[in-house]
Amino acid sequence: MSEENRSDILTVSEQQPKAEGKKLQFNLIHDYPQKNAELLSSQYGFNIFLAGLLLMFAWAIHAVGITDRDLLSYLITLMLIQMIWMLWYIFRSQSFRRSNIEKDTDAGARWLRCGITLFAVITLILDSFKIGYYIGYSECLSITEGIFPVTHTVHTLLQVYFLWFHAKDIIQSFKTLERFGLIHAVFTNLLLWANGILTESKHELNEHKERLITLGFSNITMDHHTPECNCTSSVCSIFSQGIYYLYPFTIEYHILASTMLYVLWKNIGRTVKHHQQQKIHFKFHGITIGTVLGLIVLTTTVAVLVVYLIQIGRSKSKSELALNMFYLYAITVLILMCTSAVIGLIIYRLENKSLDDSESPAKKLDSDLLVGSACGSWLISWGSILAIICAETHPEYTWYNLPYSILVIIEKYIQNLFIIECINRKEEEPTDERSERIFSVSTRSNLSLASSSYDVINDSVTICNKEFPYISNSEVPVAEDCAEEQRSQDNNNSIRLTPCKVSIHTTRPAKLNKKRRVLKNIAAFLFLCNISLWIPPAFGCRPQYDNGLEEIVFGFEPWITVVNLAMPFSIFYRMHSASSLFEVYCKA
């Protein structure tokens, strides 16, 4: 609530009252204080969200009189309202195009919009699968199950267009209606996200129950929603199978969309200090070690996942083997991740960059989401730890589960510190300390470096890199001598300094000193590791279900409930930290 348009409030209070009646009408509609407009809309948002959540809850527990159709109708209505609002906004902003709309440089980064487009494409495939499935079973499915994917397709197309062109807008006029539209969009996406999670959880739970039945547990009731007629086409089973492999992407799409819309909502009426932010460029350069290690982890993960899914639930010994393999592999990866994040943190302390204290909703949301979603997996890990401590029997794999759970907690703790500090570090100024360093180096070794610093402008990247290790290695003495040398040789070197500065701007990627290169490698490695750790839980490898220990201690129902509530956040954490690490990589 901090980003209030101060000038707007002031003009309201400075106006002198003219005619009481007219004034009242005027105030209630146009000059409603923006702090309250925020509250007014957020309370509306919470209410549609809570009502939707309860509908989902009621449907999930098979409440009397509440069907699939009710829930889908509610979601369709919300999507239609959002589409009408988006169309209104798009047309209105096109007609006002000449007036300069302010932009928030932190919001809606290009890579974020590319990411959301990718997920949206997969979502569209999912929708087409659903439509195909509906056509196959159209005799016995309700019409809403056909309308829903069609509406969702249009909704996705329109929303991606909207986010692509308007994610950076800072809305300054007619704010109240915009606030309502945006908060409606935020919570519509959150409900679609929750709906995706619910469907996915039900599916996972059923698969788990099927495995348990294979293993000999008989007192388990399945919860299938198979249609009561035969499919008219031959591809129905492909559709119904394929849908569940695409769900993880749809879930990410909706949560990403809602965070982008939320930032738009927070930005309404904000006054931005215009600090010229450098555009973040992705350059694949000097990060070979990190990338190679990361890719090794990624391929190993896929291999482990395939073996796990084949082995688990076949027999007791095969299941235990699969669990042991998964835990050992995960422990190794987590230790590597912890180590690299700690190295990153130590480098930060050595660099001593100042933190950016400007209040940006996009940055604040990023860090809140990281900590908030980490809580999901911390909850599961604490559950495992508690179960291991309290269990009466300890099969072998529990002794891998304990370090695994502890490492999950520690790794997220450290990684959050690493990411959030980098996000909040100040962008480097054009006249930063590096130019000073080069300056002082060139003053110290006049003969050897003066000429080579001229060369940098025209020469290739490799030559630059040969120069710079020297600079970063000799940093300490340089810094110590810097002050007095600068004073004594100031007149002497003023000419030499100019080309040196030019070299900084023309050959930017070449300036990677050792620390920055290590940071970039760490970010690349952690990025690939997080993608790797996203894959297993998203595609059905959930040892928290399969190891059985927690289920014995807490009971089947309570533990499944905890995992189903917390797991979506844990999965989202990996995706979100990967996208944040991409930013870290670009900024490092």
Of 350, 462, 484, 491, the residue at the interface with its own copies (CB under 8 A) is 350
Is 367 an interacting residue with respect to its own copies (CB under 8 A)?
A: yes
**Residues 118 to 137: which contact its own copies by CB under 8 A?**
none
Cβ closest to its own copies, residue 383 vs residue 568: 383
We find the least distance from the C-beta atom of residue 499 to its own copies, in angstroms, to be: 26
Q: CA 382, CA 570: separation in Å to the nearest integer?
A: 13
Cβ closest to its own copies, residue 34 vs residue 311: 34
Is 392 an interacting residue with respect to its own copies (CB under 8 A)?
A: yes
Residues in binding contact with its own copies, number by CB under 8 A: 84
Burial of 457 (0-12, 13-18, 19+ CB in 10 A): middle
**Residues 558 to 577: which contact its own copies by CB under 8 A?**
558, 562
Is 96 an interacting residue with respect to its own copies (CB under 8 A)?
A: no
Residues 371-390: x where in contact with its own copies by CB under 8 A, - otherwise, as a string = x--xx--xx--xx-xx---x
Q: Give CA torsion, residues 476, 480, 481, 487, to 10 deg.
A: 130
Which strand (E) or helix (H) includes residue 169? strand 169-170
Judged by phi (left if over 0) then psi (alpha if -120 to 50, else beta), residue 226 lies in: beta
Is 403 an interacting residue with respect to its own copies (CB under 8 A)?
A: no
Q: CA 100, CA 86: separation in Å to the nearest integer?
A: 20
Of 12, 101, 213, 280, the residue at the interface with its own copies (CB under 8 A) is 12
Of 394, 479, 505, 506, the residue at the interface with its own copies (CB under 8 A) is 479
Is 424 an interacting residue with respect to its own copies (CB under 8 A)?
A: yes
Is 393 an interacting residue with respect to its own copies (CB under 8 A)?
A: no
Q: 3-state secondary structure string, 240-290?
A: HHHHHHHHHHHHHHHHHHHHHHHHHHHHCCCCCCCCCCCCCCCCCCCCHHH
We find the least distance from the C-beta atom of residue 514 to its own copies, in angstroms, to be: 13
Of 420, 524, 531, 567, the residue at the interface with its own copies (CB under 8 A) is 420
Cβ closest to its own copies, residue 304 vs residue 441: 441
**Residues 243 to 302: which contact its own copies by CB under 8 A?**
none
Cβ closest to its own copies, residue 61 vs residue 140: 61
We find the least distance from the C-beta atom of residue 527 to its own copies, in angstroms, to be: 20
Is 434 an interacting residue with respect to its own copies (CB under 8 A)?
A: no
**Residues 298 to 327: which contact its own copies by CB under 8 A?**
none
**Residues 509 to 538: which contact its own copies by CB under 8 A?**
none
Residues 459-478: x where in contact with its own copies by CB under 8 A, - otherwise, as a string = ----------------xx--
Is 483 an interacting residue with respect to its own copies (CB under 8 A)?
A: yes
We find the least distance from the C-beta atom of residue 268 to its own copies, in angstroms, to be: 15
Of 30, 51, 315, 399, the residue at the interface with its own copies (CB under 8 A) is 51
Is 143 an interacting residue with respect to its own copies (CB under 8 A)?
A: no
What's the one-letter identity of residue 545?
Y
Q: CA 579, CA 582: separation in Å to the nearest integer?
A: 5
We find the least distance from the C-beta atom of residue 505 to its own copies, in angstroms, to be: 23
Is 342 an interacting residue with respect to its own copies (CB under 8 A)?
A: no
Q: CA 441, CA 474: separation in Å to the nearest integer?
A: 9
What separation, in Å, do the N-terminal and C-terminal C-alpha atoms of the chain show?
Answer: 31
Is 221 an interacting residue with respect to its own copies (CB under 8 A)?
A: no
User: Of the candidates 405, 428, 416, 398, which has an alpha carbon nearest to the alpha carbon of residue 508?
Assistant: 428
We find the least distance from the C-beta atom of residue 528 to its own copies, in angstroms, to be: 24
- Rg of the chain over all Cα atoms, to the nearest angstrom: 28
Judged by phi (left if over 0) then psi (alpha if -120 to 50, else beta), residue 216 lies in: left
Are 576 and 112 in contact, with CB atoms under 8 Å apart? no
Cβ closest to its own copies, residue 235 vs residue 391: 391
Is 436 an interacting residue with respect to its own copies (CB under 8 A)?
A: no
Are 278 and 172 in contact, with CB atoms under 8 Å apart? no
Cβ closest to its own copies, residue 317 vs residue 354: 354
Binding part of the chain for its own copies, among 175-183, 296-304, 522-530, 551-559 by CB under 8 A, reads: 551-559
Sequence-distant contacts of 303-308: CB under 8 A, at least 24 apart:
304/329, 304/536, 305/535, 305/536, 305/539, 305/541, 308/536, 308/541
Is 409 an interacting residue with respect to its own copies (CB under 8 A)?
A: yes
Task: Give, as one character, the DSSP assignment of residue 16.
Answer: P
Binding part of the chain for its own copies, among 54-62, 120-128, 222-230, 518-526 by CB under 8 A, reads: 54-62
Cα angle 462-463-467, degrees, rounded to a multiple of 5: 115
Is 484 an interacting residue with respect to its own copies (CB under 8 A)?
A: no
DSSP secondary structure letters along 47-115: HHHHHHHHHHHHHHTT-TT--HHHHHHHHHHHHHHHHHHHHHHHHHHHHTTTS--EE-TTSS-HHHHHH
We find the least distance from the C-beta atom of residue 347 to its own copies, in angstroms, to be: 10
